[in-house]
Structure 1
Amino acid sequence: MTGFRSGAAIACRAGRGLVALAFLALATASHAGAEHGVERVLIEKGARRLTLLDAEGGAVRVYDHIRLGWEPVGPKRFEGDGRTPEGHYRIDWGLESSAYHLSLHISYPGPSDQAYARSRGRSPGGAIFIHGWPNGARDAPEGDWTAGCIALDNAEIEEIWGLVGDGTPVDIVA
């Protein structure tokens, strides 16, 4: 099977609250990561910045115009809330073929995200990715447009794809 870095394929869909589970697939490909000096991804929502960090915490690359969920203030709590998560996660797999130009899956929801949502009788949601523009788009969508994902220009996600491996820690802060 081609098109997967590893794990399951789930496509994030732009728009108000729609997240589609596409299908599950088995794959075990290993990918780039520490050999390129990237040990951690830092996403700063308020600054609209994604930084790739080395082992000492120094910036390897900085991308300063990311797009977030359509309700970017505050942590993601429930499916359909339009918010981008906040917390400590990992890149757990990537998807070459989706509705977006390359997609790296973030391990949201974590145990505390699940517990919070369950305690209120809700689903925490899922299918949170770092990805490029929607396939076929000629220009980047304006403003914060995802359902909770982190979006970048296609050239930027291509660079990130080659530098960030599965298992890389991701810190998302307000």
Structure 2
Amino acid sequence: MNALKLIAVALAVAIGLSGCSSKFKTYNGPEVTHVVVNKTARRMYLLHHDRVLEDYKFDLGFAPTGHKTERGDGRTPEGTYLIDRRNPNSKFHLSIGISYPNVADRMQALAQKKDPGGDIFIHGQPNDDKGRKSPDWTAGCIAVRDRDIEWIYAMVKNGTPITIQP
């Protein structure tokens, strides 16, 4: 009987610990009403109205200054967008999508006869560990540590505005 209890306790501990390692967190705090990204300071702020709930460091695209204007330019867009999708099976741990390009971005690109690009995300590190070569290594996304994207993914809901500042 003691051996059976020992096995049951060991199994319960193993199940409990496996839950701790999940990349899917549960957040029950104040609603994130806005995400603000300051590219120069390399800080992302999750806000509940005017109160900062969390802030994170990040890496940018390989051309970190200026507004994204075309596919492949390595820039991160600037302006106000929405968090519009999430990818639990991302090749970058987890990712949440930014609604770039908006109408103005498309019109600007069209006027220049260029493709504005897309697929801009806040994401974690590459799952294959091959993407990061320098502090600015993405193709225009905002990259955070894996443990940070786990909390951002849990806290920020689709439809949340995101303002990306130079």
TM-score scaled to structure 1, two decimals?
Answer: 0.76
Equivalent position of 1:20 in the other structure: none
Q: Report the alpha carbon displacement of residue 37 of structure 1 after superposing the two structures with TM.
A: 2.2
What does the per-residue CA deviation read over 1:69-93, in whole Å, with 9 as the maximum and x for residues that have no partner? 1001100001110000000000001
Identical aligned residues as a percent: 43
**RMSD of aligned residue pairs (Cα, Å):** 2.0
C-alpha contact (below 8 Å) 2:82/2:159 kept by paired residues: yes
One-letter code aligned to 2:127 = N
Alpha-carbon distance between aligned partners in 2 of 1:116 and 1:135, rounded to the nearest angstrom: 34
* 1:90 equivalent in alignment to 2:112: no
Alpha-carbon distance between aligned partners in 2 of 1:35 and 1:109, rounded to the nearest angstrom: 31
C-alpha contact (below 8 Å) 1:52/1:60 kept by paired residues: yes
Greater gyration radius: 2
Partner of residue 47 from structure 1, selected from 10, 20, 41: 41
What does the per-residue CA deviation read over 1:46-86, in whole Å, with 9 as the maximum and x for residues that have no partner? 0001000012x1100011x2000100110000111000000
Alpha-carbon distance between aligned partners in 2 of 1:95 and 1:111, rounded to the nearest angstrom: 23
Paired positions, count: 141
C-alpha contact (below 8 Å) 1:41/1:53 kept by paired residues: yes
C-alpha contact (below 8 Å) 1:37/1:60 kept by paired residues: no
Moved over 6 A (4+): 32-35
Equivalent position of 1:159 in the other structure: 151
What does the per-residue CA deviation read over 1:77-118, in whole Å, with 9 as the maximum and x for residues that have no partner? 011100000000000010010211101000000000000000
5+ residue gaps, structure 2, are: 1-25
One-letter code aligned to 1:50 = M
